[in-house]
């Protein structure tokens, strides 16, 4: 019988299990790893990862059984298999980074989400650092950006000595000069608006004076 496979890399490979017994009962036929969140075929009672079987059947009009039953009807994982899985002990996936933990099957995913041996990327040098060492590394990394609380200029830690008190004052002077220029530009723009409004007011005044004079002339003609 040919093995059906979805070519997925197993999330939990067999070599991470300590003293694995009866692997044929807990191995997913699709990814070839230990089953995760297992479900079973109602016809043959054999288990597969829920993600694997759903990926396999997503694009099919009729779901198929990886073990070639005539039909696939999904059911929960049998209790006997769940019990076997609960007895497994798993090496943390971050063991190559130094994690010494061996975790039960029911707890290993929770552990790996919080494991201090997973890698984080330094925001300065982009080096991969073990989480438990990250804070100390970041405090010393020469490429992390620092910000001066006086002039708000950012620079890498390795350039701290270049940001002297004189340099800081020079930058602050430039910043203040720039602000003054911006204020002068705004003041000039406001003055242009004021001049334009005053001109319109004068034009309206001339119009109404002319209108009043014309009205008085017409009224005088009728009074005669």
**In-domain check, residue 168:** no
Same domain, 22 and 96: yes
CATH of the domain at 126: 3.30.40.10
Boundaries of domain holding 50: 14-104
Are residues 97 and 23 both part of a single domain?
A: yes
- Together in a domain, 91 and 132: no
Asked if residue 89 is part of any domain, the answer here is yes
Q: Could you say which DSSP state residue 35 is in?
A: -
pTM for the complete prediction? Answer: 0.68
29: three-class secondary structure by DSSP: coil
Residues 26 and 55 in one domain: yes
HEC string for 184-205: HHHHHHHHHHHHHHHHHHHHHH
40 and 99 co-located in one domain: yes
Q: Tell me, what DSSP letter sits at residue 25? A: H
d(CA 17, CA 154): 49
Residue 130 lies in a domain: yes
**pLDDT tens for each residue of the chain, 224 residues long:** 344 555 578 889 999 999 898 899 999 999 999 999 999 999 999 999 999 999 999 988 899 999 989 999 999 999 999 999 999 999 999 999 999 999 999 999 999 999 999 999 999 999 999 999 999 999 999 999 999 999 999 999 999 999 999 999 999 999 999 999 999 999 999 999 998 999 998 888 888 888 888 887 877 777 65
Determine, yes or no, domain membership for 40. Answer: yes
Same domain, 33 and 93: yes
Q: Do 91 and 123 share a structural domain?
A: no
CA 47 – CA 36 distance, rounded (Å) = 10
| Per-residue H/E/C for 36-98 | CCEEEECCCCCEEEHHHHHHHHCCCCCCCCCCCCCCCCEEECCHHHHHHHHCCEEECCCHHHC
Within this chain, do residues 57 and 87 fall inside the same structural domain, yes or no? Answer: yes
């Amino acid at each position: 019988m040919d093995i059906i496979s979805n070519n997925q890399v197993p999330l939990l490979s067999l070599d991470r299990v300590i003293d694995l017994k009866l692997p044929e009962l807990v191995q997913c036929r699709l990814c070839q790893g230990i089953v995760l969140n297992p479900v079973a075929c109602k016809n043959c009672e054999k288990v597969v990862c829920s993600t694997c079987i759903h990926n396999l059947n997503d694009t099919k009009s009729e779901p198929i059984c990886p073990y070639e039953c005539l039909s696939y009807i999904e059911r929960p994982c049998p209790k006997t298999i769940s019990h076997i899985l609960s007895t497994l002990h798993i090496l943390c996936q971050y063991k190559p980074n130094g994690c010494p933990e061996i975790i039960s099957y029911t707890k290993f995913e929770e552990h790996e989400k919080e494991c201090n041996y997973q890698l984080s990327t330094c925001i300065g040098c982009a080096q991969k650092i073990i989480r438990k060492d990250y804070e100390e590394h970041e405090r010393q990394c020469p490429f992390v950006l620092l910000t001066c609380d006086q002039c708000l200029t950012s620079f890498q830690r390795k350039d701290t000595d270049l940001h002297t008190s004189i340099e800081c004052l020079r930058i602050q002077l430039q910043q203040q000069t720039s602000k003054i220029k911006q204020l002068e530009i705004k003041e000039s723009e406001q003055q242009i608006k004021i001049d334009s409004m005053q001109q319109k007011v004068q034009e309206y005044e001339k119009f109404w004076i002319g209108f009043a004079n014309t009205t008085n002339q017409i009224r005088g003609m009728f009074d005669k």
